[in-house]
Amino acid sequence: MAPISDSLSRIGLVGLAVMGQNLALNIAEKGFPISVYNRTSNKVDETVERAKHEGNLPVRGFHDPEAFVLSIQKPRAVIILVKAGSPVDQTIETLSKFLEPGDCVIDGGNEWYENTERRAASVKEKGLLYLGMGVSGGEEGARYGPSLMPGGTPEAYEYIEDIVTKVAAQVNDGPCVTYIGEGGAGNFVKMVHNGIEYGDMQLIAEAYDVLKSVGGLSNQELAAAFTEWNEGELESFLIEITSHIFQVKDDKGEAELVDKILDKTGMKGTGKWTVQQAAELSVAAPTIAASLDSRFLSGLKEEREAAAQVFREAGVKDILATKEVDKQQLVTDVRKALYASKICSYAQGMNIIRSKSIEKGWNLDLGEISRIWKGGCIIRAVFLDRIKQAYDRNPKLASLLVDPEFAKEMVERQEAWRRVVSLAISVGISTPGMTASLAYFDSYRRSRLPANLLQAQRDYFGAHTYERVDVPGTFHTEWSKLAKLAKIG
């Protein structure tokens, strides 16, 4: 890049909500002067004040979009962190009046990948470059080191490579950022990351439910179990924060806060997009789908309360910690079940990315994607290093399940996994994520499934034809006629 003038910023950022503010301060702290702009001017002043308070960081605030754009070194790079959808289009329209050919726009929001591709084509007509960059890690990640997933014009990535490699989380084998691929690849990978995150969170919630409802573990015992888990194969951000959650006291009453929280989960759409894309690509993703269904069901709080009463009156007892269990054995079994289920969830997510990469010709590097998730992002975990190693061993790996190392671990844990799922079913606790993962594993490992009967049914009622295992070609049978001749119709 050209040397920076004393009067110009190295980069600009628009959108100063929590993520935007923190990312701007992170960039400035890494030594890159940054200009910031927000439609609501008080956010600009707030950010500049924070920059002063946090070490006189080189952040310059602007209340006028033209002055903001002109304050940035050419070729300009501007990050947009506003709400996905029409606000992004409106922001681009505002900025493009002042941007010049060769300048670059980077959308850092959770955007639908096709919108990114549409915008890239639109700004290209004006001579502008475009990146869609997934940013993961929440407000803390944005401030101190996120996982970044930029995709789009390769030349545009070169504009910001020196910045993002310093701003991203740093792990043992480099910064948690890489050029993902062309078009909307960056947004797509971030979307699937969020889908995997849905699966991870659901599986952890199920582990909690089994330990609490069947094992009768107190919040203190749960905190101890999750703390121990975080020192082994399950070491991760989500396991760590879960161990913390069980220890936080309610500031409005007695006991722990977690028990006072309404059991109704929110969502922002990326998990739903992941499941929709899996269906579009004909990729099985039952763990991620189960996590989405569970969020939908959690939203039916009033209906669930009414249903609980109906079924109680019909003879279904409440779930209580009445079953005699060995707590320590249960904790061990649930840990193993959680790990095995987690492998399935990640395998599904990576298969979605691989299938889309093939469809779009993105040539995505699954091992490198796994590597940049090792730090900064919500699903960061030691486990991801194992995934990178699996793809390093075999870049064309059909599924993580058949990597020799992961396959061995699945087999070693399957007895505990089956015990946990069976126990949950026997006492009426839903474990949709673990159950879906186990069914996925059991289906994938079988060389023959009952799909032969499904295909026979399809041919019977719709003449959809079928293939045979012993003779090549496509066949159709007059099933009804033959059944009548056999006197079984």
Catalytic residues: 190, 197
Residue 22's H or E segment, with its range, is helix 18-29
**Per the annotation, does 83 bind a ligand?**
yes
**Per the annotation, does 194 bind a ligand?**
yes
Q: How far apart are CA 20 and CA 178, in angstroms?
A: 20
Taking alpha carbons only, the member of 79, 75, 73 closest to residue 23 is 79
Distances (CA, A) of 398 to 225, 314, 357, 421, 451: 34, 47, 14, 27, 21
**Per the annotation, does 137 bind a ligand?**
yes
Q: How far apart are CA 144 and CA 137, in angstroms?
A: 9
**Per the annotation, does 198 bind a ligand?**
yes
**Per the annotation, does 393 bind a ligand?**
no
**Per the annotation, does 134 bind a ligand?**
no
Q: For residue 184, with 0-12 CB atoms within 10 Å meaning exposed, 13-18 middle and 19 or more buried, which class applies? A: buried
Q: What sign for the dihedral angle of Cα 258, 263, 266, 272?
A: positive
Helix, coil or strand: residue 77? strand
**Per the annotation, does 268 bind a ligand?**
yes
What secondary structure does DSSP assign to 175-239, as a single string?
ESB---BSTTHHHHHHHHHHHHHHHHHHHHHHHHHHHHHTT---HHHHHHHHHHHTTTTT-BHHH
**Per the annotation, does 469 bind a ligand?**
no
**Per the annotation, does 476 bind a ligand?**
no
**Per the annotation, does 19 bind a ligand?**
yes
* 62: phi then psi, degrees, rounded to nearest 5: -135, 140
**Per the annotation, does 397 bind a ligand?**
no
Taking alpha carbons only, the member of 338, 357, 343 closest to residue 395 is 357
**Per the annotation, does 138 bind a ligand?**
yes
Give 131's Cβ-side CA count (13 Å radius).
32
400 secondary structure, DSSP code: G
**291, β-bridge pairs:** none
- Are 50 and 25 contacting, i.e. CB atoms less than 8 angstroms apart? yes
- Are 79 and 91 contacting, i.e. CB atoms less than 8 angstroms apart? no
Taking alpha carbons only, the member of 94, 78, 92, 100 closest to residue 9 is 78
**Per the annotation, does 84 bind a ligand?**
yes
Pairing between β-strand 174-175 and β-strand 170-171 as defined by DSSP bridges: antiparallel
**Per the annotation, does 143 bind a ligand?**
no
Which residues contribute to the annotated binding site? 15-20, 38-40, 82-84, 110, 136-138, 193-194, 198, 268, 295, 458, 464
Which residues contribute to the annotated binding site for NADP(+)? 15-20, 38-40, 82-84, 110
Which residues contribute to the annotated binding site for substrate? 110, 136-138, 193-194, 198, 268, 295, 458, 464
